[in-house]
Chain A
Amino acid sequence: MKRLTSAIPALGAGLLALLPSLAFAAGDLGQAQQQPTNWSAIGMFVVFVGMTLGITYWAARRTKSAADFYAAGGGITGFQNGLAIAGDYMSAASFLGISALVYGSGFDGLIYSVGWLVGWPIILFLIAERLRNLGKYTFADVASYRLSQTPVRSFAATGSLVVVIFYLIGQMVGAGQLIKLLFGLDYMVAVIMVGVLMMIYVTFGGMKATTWVQIIKACLLLSGATFIALAVLYKFNFSFEALFAKAVEVHPKHINIMAPGTLVSDPIEAVSLAMALMFGTAGLPHILMRFFTVADAKAARKSVFYATSFIGYFYILTFIIGFGAIVMVGTDPTYLDAAGKGLRGGANMAAIHLAHAVGGDLFLGFISAVAFATILAVVSGLTLAGASAISHDLYANVFARGRANEVTEVRVSKIASMGIGVIAVLLGIVFEKQNVAYMVGLTFAIAASTNFPVLVMSMFWRGLTTRGAVIGGFMGLAAAVILTVLGPTVWKDVLGNPSAIFPFKYPAIFSMPLAFISIWFFSIIDNSARAKAEREAFDAQLVRSETGLGAEGAHAH
């Protein structure tokens, strides 16, 4: 149990937050030192921004209808969408954080990578094609398909916005620290830059621009990581045994880096985290939204296959990169701090220093620019998902009750994108000095306990009623938030109380079943006429979800 308390924050943090293992190895995020201004990185980044702004201009001229804005007109192919999903999902944390973790503890890094990937098959088998067949722009379309629009959409929009805001805080704070570290820019300047760029992409270019930013980023990240991994393997004549033998020889933990260490030892925490990761992925609104950009269920399936392949390949690369860093960075004093123990700039610099070791200054600049591009792609997807929840769910279907026209709806979502951008920048500044590592775990726990149960029950269970969905969903949300706050990460580490009220760091093992049981219970005791009609509507919904008959093509042209 004790081992676990030190292990789990790193595990959760390593998963999505930017610079996660700073918490693991070098204190909290606020300690990133500002580096000298890195001109080659800035130059490459300017090229990337110029290119994406050009795409945004192109996309803006083609974004006229609501279908264009929310779903890129449904014109994205399965392959493109797979790349975009990978671009949405592979954060700078997976690249820098996991390679740093492998650098620090070897095998344990692989546990993270695996946890990140296994949610994807579940999304494919149970969710992707049904989501595409039933929905139009947001997952709330599906959850409210046969239920009462106002309460269910209000609930789903709340669930989406809470996830988006928590996720954005983690990303913005990480972005500020990372950019300070890589580019030598001031934290405030970095956060505002990220905020302004994401607002431009989303407001003007909508889903088309966001998708292409994600695709370009995915290609850059995959090719950069491939190059580093190949360079490492080349040095060892493509013999893994030789690479590992050298790593074991030079690493302070020696042979222990080849087996599971101390990261996961308590089965309850391990399973709880595993549940949050696996099912949380299937409840992230920005990920679910990507399935509406393709033409049909067939393309939705293909996109998950491509995404899973790219993401899996990428995680295998980060593992090689981590071992490469042990051998090529850990043994070179120029990359170490004054004491000669830690890495210059913090533990998360392992992959960055390795980029320099294998490709010199220019390649270092390239990888730094890719890391920045990575953040931009992720925050843009989040902003668009948040804006859609506000405009499509809350505005068009709750406040205007279906009487809003498309032009106003799109205008509202553009205003909402700007609003979310401003809020993200402000929160990024407010949370600068805070340890935000717990935000990631919280985001996934909320997604797994709120959006995921309601979505699954609406698709698979005839008995679901509006009352069950709303009460059960909100109970899952409340449980995930309250248990995280009372748990060790917030109650003890952030608020400074001597001991936590709730003993576990990850609440999903409790909050997710609670959500499912409450949804079931409040549905079966619902004997209203509305509930009866909702159950009867299930057969018609099932025909559409299984056959795609009547599925709304977002592809209006």
Chain B
Amino acid sequence: MTNDMQAKIRSNPKYAELVRKRSSFAWLLSIVMLCIYYGFIMVIAFAPKILGTPISEGAVTTIGLPIGVGVILSAIALTGIYVYRANTEFDDLTKQLIEGSK
């Protein structure tokens, strides 16, 4: 039975759609995360002064702080975005696919 379903799923166009959509979304978000993080590290390595700029005239707080915290929040936001889309759109697609191949 499983082999039969395997074959049905593989020949179902929705399967190709699911794999394509999810993989490209996952790799896209991974690349965004890598760029944000390595961008942050590179600024620290090559131009640390930029992060020492005061947030406004005369302020002690520097833009480095909101940027650093922003990297942390972006990691949380990206996971949230992925989980939302995967748990709704991708899971619906998976469900249809399995139902349709029974």
Contact = CB atoms under 8 A, between A and B. Distances in A.
Contact of A259 (B6, B9, B49, B91): B49
A260 B71 contact: no
A118 interface: yes
Interface in B52-78: 52, 59-62, 64-65, 68-69, 71-73, 75-76, 78
A267 B43 CA distance: 10
Contacts, number: 153
B15 A259 contact: no
Contacts of A548: 94
A316 B79 contact: no
Given A111-B68, A298-B87, A539-B10, A258 B49 contact: no
A264 B45 contact: yes
Interface in B23-45: 26-27, 29-30, 33-34, 36-38, 40-42, 44-45
A118 B33 CA distance: 7
A302 B46 contact: no
A46 interface: no
Contact of A258 (B2, B27, B60, B80): B60
A270 interface: yes
B96 to A, nearest CB: 11
Contact of B71 (A114, A125, A301): A114
B30 A110 contact: no
Contact of B62 (A115, A259, A316): A259
Given A241-B59, A245-B60, A117 B46 contact: no
A312 B76 contact: yes
Nearest to A111: B44
Interface residues of A, number: 54
A278 interface: yes
Contact of B51 (A259, A539, A547): A259
A107 B59 CA distance: 16
From DSSP, what is the main secondary structure of chain A's interface residues?
Answer: helix
Contacts of B52: 258-260
A122 B79 CA distance: 9
Nearest to B70: A114
Contacts of B9: 543, 547, 549
Interface in A308-343: 308-309, 312, 315-316, 319
A113 interface: yes
Given A125-B27, A548-B94, A270 B83 contact: no
A336 to B, nearest CB: 24
Contacts of B29: 121, 125
A309 B83 CA distance: 13
B79 A114 contact: no
B89 to A, nearest CB: 12
Interface in A290-306: 298, 301-302, 304-305
B70 to A, nearest CB: 10
Contact of A264 (B22, B44, B78): B44
A291 B9 CA distance: 25
Given A114-B40, A117-B72, 5 more contacts: A121-B30, A125-B26, A259-B51, A264-B45, A305-B80
Leading 10 A-B pairs by shortest Cβ distance: A259-B52, A260-B48, A110-B68, A125-B26, A258-B62, A118-B37, A305-B83, A245-B60, A312-B72, A260-B44
Interface of B: 2, 5-6, 9-10, 15, 18-19, 22, 26-27, 29-30, 33-34, 36-38, 40-42, 44-46, 48-49, 51-52, 59-62, 64-65, 68-69, 71-73, 75-76, 78-80, 82-83, 86-87, 91, 94, 97-98
